[in-house]
Amino acid sequence: MAQSKAIGILGAGITGLATAYVLSSKYKVTIVARDLPGDLGLDWASPWAGAVFHPQKTPNKLWQDMQIACFRFYWALAHNDPSSGVKVYPMTEYFDTIHDDSEIWYKTLMPDYRIIPAGELPARTTFGIKYTALAMNPSMLLPWLKAKLIVKGVKFVRAEVFSLDEVRVITKAKLVVNASGVGARVLAGDESVGPVRGQTMFVKTDFNELVMKEGTEYTYVIPRADSGGVIMGGIKSDRLDSEVDVELKSDILMRVNRITNGAFEGLDISTVTDIVGFRPGRKGGLRVEREGDVVHAYGVEGAGYIYSFGVAERVKKLIEESVLRAKL
């Protein structure tokens, strides 16, 4: 395989896997990563994510397009292969900083979109919408993707690297995709990158719909396909320890009950499974751009599952635009 057809990807989180999936039809892809699907260490975010497709409010057209591409991929997957852990659910989304849907660019994207009448909104809410959305179970989806990638000829190399040149040596590829998440702070010299702590709870229940609250408060209930329960959250914090904040558990439960009409009243929080994880944050948000022989793809924070396959399509375009220019 010519070096020009070989591509190295650093990182096996959802962004790295999605990028490999999109590129592997045309390129010889090798993924280099410290953590691989099936690992449950706290040093990477993908296994611990809430993993729900609820579009992010943004005026950035490119970011919107990446979300649209990602939604279409997951929508097809949910309908064609349930073993992927991607499933369709009804979504209720509440806000406390907006009063209409003038900022909701995705009203034409999400199926069954409608505005909730003001009289039906819970306390501390100024606006609400309902639509049909998707949620993913990372413990199913990540291994599913890895298995598909192996069939497609993608190689996985477990290694902790400290430079992008090391990735080139391991993969024998001139071009490297940097999907290293928090690692990009060192590997790309990007000071705006850092971990954002999240704490959630897994609760056994047959509650089977998505409910979210955004604005000054960040609260959600996300069903996990085929797991018999939901993920409840959330919080964004600069703390870097992995100790469970016991007081926060009661606070999450109180907020969840407020947006679910008391669906979890009486829940004994000592019986839940606590989850602490670190999202790959970046001041300024997502970075998908080419820099010489590196295509950077990181900075999604908690929106990896919302952008992943759209980021992958964008990475492919950046690679192929430069190939085209080289031929002119």
Q: At what angle are helices 304-327 and 61-80 packed, to 10 degrees?
A: 110
220 annotated as belonging to a binding site for a ligand: yes
Both structure tokens of 321: 């635009």
287 annotated as belonging to a binding site for a ligand: no
Which residues, in sequence order, are CB contacts of 150 under 8 Å at separation 6+?
Answer: 156
Which residues, in sequence order, are CB contacts of 281 under 8 Å at separation 6+?
Answer: 182, 193, 194, 195, 196, 299, 301
161 annotated as belonging to a binding site for a ligand: yes
**Distance of alpha carbon 262 from the chain centroid:** 28
Instruction: Kindly tell me the burial class for residue 271, based on how many C-beta atoms sit within 10 Å of its own C-beta (0-12, 13-18, 19 or more).
Output: exposed
What is the distance between the alpha carbons of residues 90 and 206, in angstroms, rounded to a whole number?
14
Ramachandran region of residue 257, left (φ > 0), alpha (ψ -120 to 50) or beta? Answer: alpha
Which residues contribute to the annotated binding site? 161, 220, 279, 302
Which residues contribute to the annotated binding site for FAD? 161
Which residues contribute to the annotated binding site for D-dopa? 220, 279, 302
